[in-house]
Amino acid sequence: MTDTTAAAVLRRGVDLLLAKDMRAYLALWHEDAVAEFPFAPPGAPRRLDGIAAITAYLIDYPDKLDIAEVTALTVHETVDPAVVIAEFTAAGKVVATGRPYEISYIAVVTVAHGRITRYRDYWNPMVVIEALGDDLLSDTATGATR
- The partner residues of 67 in beta bridges, in order of sequence, read 92
**Domain 6-138, CATH 3.10.450.50 — does that match?**
yes
Domain ranges of the chain: 6-138
Tell whether the torsion through CA atoms of 10, 27, 89 and 80 is positive or negative: negative
pLDDT tier, 67 (very low <50, low <70, confident <90, very high otherwise): very high
Helices (H), ranges, the chain = 6-18, 22-27, 50-58, 61-64, 125-132, 134-138
Give yes or no for a contact between 65 and 73, defined as CB atoms under 8 angstroms apart. Answer: no
Tens of pLDDT, residue by residue over 42-57, are 888 999 999 999 999 9
